[in-house]
Structure 1
Amino acid sequence: MGRNSTDRVYLLARDKAESERLDKQHYFFMALLRNQIIHPCIPRDNLVSIADIGTGTGIWLQEVARFLPSPQLDLHGFDISPDQFPPKQGLRISEDSEIKLHVHDARKEFPPEHHGRYDMVHIRLLTAGMRAEDFKTVVKNVRSLLKLNGWIQWEELDTTAFCTDRMPEPAVVTKVRKAAMNILMYMKMSYMAPHQVFDELRAQQFQNVRRKAYNTRGLGYLHDVALRWAINVIRAMIVPAMLTTGEAKDLAEAKEKVEELVAGYQDHCMTALPLVNLFIIVGQI
C-alpha cells in the first residue's frame, strides 16, 4: 500500500538503513536505561515465555536471550511486516531453540494459540504505526497474550524527546517539537503516547501500573549519540511525513525543509544536551 492509504500510518521506512538505525537505537536506549533491558520491578526468575510486539529486527529479543540464558526460553516476535526480520541464523538461542517471528497486526486479535501464553509482553515505540484511537484495541489484544500475573513493559516517546537541558525552551526546539506534533496530529497519531499508554493500562484493570522517564541527565558522555539519534529521527520521521501531509510537494523540498530544522537543532545542541526522555510504562494482570 502507498503511504496515503488509510490503513497504513507507519511513518518510517522498512529498508536496510532503517533496520540499522533501529539496531543502533536499541543500544542507545539500553545506555539510557542503564542496561536494564527488563524493568527492575518485573521479577525475572519466572520469565520463560516472552513476546515482543513490533519486533522489527528482533534485536530486543536477541538481547533478552543473552540476558536470560535458559534452554526453556520461549521467545516470540510479532510485527505487521516481515521486511525487517533478521536472517534465520540470527534467531537461534541454543542448539534446539530459536526465536520465532510472526507477521501480525496488533490491532487485530492474536491467534488463540497465543492467548494466556506469555509471562511478559514487551512493546517499544508502537505509536509509529498506530493511531491514537487504536490504543484501547491494542492494549486489549496484548492483554489476552498474558498469563495470570504476567507483565507488560511498554516503551514510548512523545515530542519531549527533542527537548534539551536548556530552559526556557529555545525557539529551535519548539519548532522541531511543533513540526513533529503537527504531523502526528494530522495523521491522527498520539503525541502523548506514554501518558495514553499509562491511562489505558489502568482503564483495562492492569495492576501495579507505573511510568518512569529515562533521559541523558547525568550521562553527558551520551551527548553525541543522543544528538545523532534525534537528528536521525527528525530525518526519518519528518521527511516522509511532509510528503504524506502535503507540506512538501516533492522529496527534494521535504529534505530541504528538514535540513533547515536539523541545522538549527544541531547548532543549539553544541552547547546543550539532548534529553530524549524515553518513558517506560509497566503493568501486571
Structure 2
Amino acid sequence: MRSPTVQRYYFSILRTSGERRVCSHHKLVMVRALGMAAVSHPQSHAGLKPWNKDQDTVYALNRGDLTKERERLEYNHRNIFLPLCGGLCPQQILTHLKDQQNPRVAEIATGTGIWLRDMAKLLPSSAELRGIDMDTTKFPPPSDLHPNICLLQHNALKPFPEEMHGLFDMIHIRLIGSGMRNEDWKTVAANAFTLLRSGGYIHWEEAGDTSWKCVPPSHAFDEWSRIRMLWSIKVGRNPFVFILLILVIQYSMPAQLPLVLRDAGFANIDNKVWNTFSVEGMMRESMRKIATEVAQPVMLSILESGGVDTLQTTEDMDRLESDLRRDIQNGALIGISLTWFWGRRP
C-alpha cells in the first residue's frame, strides 16, 4: 500500500479544477517515474555543496565553486548569447533607450551583472542601471562596476518597493525559468510591469527543457532529457493534467509567456527564436562546454530531492554523466533554442 506521504503528494498533483481524477494505470506509471519510492538522499559531493541552503528554490545551479559559477555565467554571455543573438536586446528597445535623456534600465535575476555591464557601454553616462537578484553571492565587487550601475537584493516573486514603481524604461530578464515554479511566471510578469513607466519595454529571454536537442540521437541525452522533464513536473516547474483519464504532459512555458505578458498588462508583444544550429560552426565547442558543466550539479539536486525515474543513486548519476560525456566526445552535437520575448507597458 502506498505511504501516506506519497498518496498526499500524488493527489496534490492530480488536482484539476478542484477535482481529483484517478486512473490506476497512469497513477502507477507516474509514481514510479517520479521516483516517489523511498530513496536515501546523498551527501553533497565535495565542492558541490549549495551556497544558499536557506532559499526555497528549484534552481539547481546554486552549488559548487562560486568562482567557476561566475565564470560559467560570463562565458555563456560572451560565447553563446551574444554570438547567437547578435546583440543585447531588440533594436527598437535600444533605440527607445537612446531617445531618453536619462534612460533607466533594470535587470531581474542579474547574476554577475554581465548583461547590465555591457548595456551600460551602449548608453549615455546619464543612464541609470540596476541589477536585481534574490541571491547576491554572484555580485561582483562595486569596484568592478560602472559608476551608474547599482546592484540590489530583492526576490522578484515579492512586490517591489513603491519608490521603484513606474521608474524604468526597460526591464530585462534572462533564463529565470530554471528557478521558477509554474505559478511564478505570472507573479514575476506582474511585478515587472509595476517597475515600468508608460511606454517602457520588457525584454525576457528563455529556453525551456524541450529547447535542447542532440544530433545524432543519443540514448544518454534522451535519458537525461526525460529525467529533467520528470523532475520539472515533480518540483512544480511545469504543469501536467489528466484529460479523459489519459496523462497529458504540458510543457507550456516558456511557449505561453506571451499570454502571461498579455495578462499582466503588456501590449505590442512579439518574439524571436534563435537556434545554435543556425550559426556557422553550430557553436559546437561552446555547447559542449555548457552541456557537460551543468549535468552533475543538476543531477545532484535531483537526487537530493528524492530522485526520479532512472536517477536514484549517485551510481546512476556517475553512469549517466559518463555516458553523456562519451557521446559528446564521439561527435554528438548539442543545440539549444533561445527565445526573445518583448512587450511594452501602454
TM-score bin (small chain)? 0.7 to 0.9
Q: What is the CA–CA distance in structure 2 between the aligned matches of 1:6 and 1:218, rounded to whole Å?
A: 37
- Correspondences of 1:84-99 after superposition (within 5 Å): 84-92=138-146, 97-99=147-149
Q: TM-score, normalised by structure 2?
A: 0.72
Secondary structure, aligned partner of 2:172:
strand
* Equivalent in the alignment of 1:194: 254
* Equivalent in the alignment of 2:227: 179
Q: What is the CA–CA distance in structure 2 between the aligned matches of 1:165 and 1:42, rounded to whole Å?
A: 35
Q: What is the CA–CA distance in structure 1 between the aligned matches of 2:307 and 2:120, rounded to whole Å?
A: 43
| Partner deviation per Cα, 1:133-169 (whole Å, 9 max, x = no partner) | 1111111101000010110111111123320355xx5
- Correspondences of 1:214-229 after superposition (within 5 Å): 214-216=274-276, 217-220=278-281, 222-229=283-290
Structure 1 residues 221 and 2: alpha-carbon distance in aligned structure 2, compared to 1, 3 A threshold: closer
Secondary structure, aligned partner of 1:9:
coil
Query: Contact conserved, 1:186 with 1:245, CA < 8 A, in 2?
Result: no
AA aligned opposite 1:244: S
Q: What is the CA–CA distance in structure 1 between the aligned matches of 2:269 and 2:262, rounded to whole Å?
A: 7
Secondary structure, aligned partner of 1:141:
helix
Q: 2:296 matched to 1:235?
A: yes
Q: 2:99 matched to 1:49?
A: no
Deviation at 1:39, TM superposition (A): 1.4
Q: Which moved more, 1:15-24 or 1:169-178?
A: 169-178
Query: Contact conserved, 1:238 with 1:258, CA < 8 A, in 2?
Result: no
* Equivalent in the alignment of 1:158: 208
Deviation at 1:238, TM superposition (A): 2.5
| Partner deviation per Cα, 1:56-114 (whole Å, 9 max, x = no partner) | 1111111111122x11110001101111100111112xxxx331111100000001111
Deviation at 1:200, TM superposition (A): 0.2
| Partner deviation per Cα, 1:28-59 (whole Å, 9 max, x = no partner) | 2111112x111123242236100000001111
Query: Contact conserved, 1:243 with 1:254, CA < 8 A, in 2?
Result: no
* Equivalent in the alignment of 2:321: 259
Q: TM-score, normalised by structure 1?
A: 0.86
* Equivalent in the alignment of 1:119: 169
Deviation at 1:183, TM superposition (A): 1.5
Deviation at 1:18, TM superposition (A): 1.3
Q: 2:183 matched to 1:137?
A: no
Please tell me the root mean square deviation across aligned C-alpha atoms, in Å: 2.5
Larger Rg: 2
AA aligned opposite 2:140: P
Q: What is the CA–CA distance in structure 1 between the aligned matches of 2:128 and 2:189, rounded to whole Å?
A: 22
Q: 2:88 matched to 1:23?
A: no
What count of residue pairs does the alignment treat as equivalent? 274
Q: Which moved more, 1:111-120 or 1:157-166?
A: 157-166
| Partner deviation per Cα, 1:225-280 (whole Å, 9 max, x = no partner) | 11211222323323322222335666x43641441452354156x1x542211111
AA aligned opposite 2:294: V
Which structure 2 residue ranges, 5 or more long, are not aligned? Answer: 1-49, 239-250
Query: Contact conserved, 2:129 with 2:149, CA < 8 A, in 1?
Result: yes
Q: 2:60 matched to 1:11?
A: yes
Q: 2:116 matched to 1:61?
A: yes
Structure 1 residues 228 and 141: alpha-carbon distance in aligned structure 2, compared to 1, 3 A threshold: same
Percent identity over the alignment?
Answer: 31
Q: Which moved more, 1:232-241 or 1:56-65?
A: 232-241
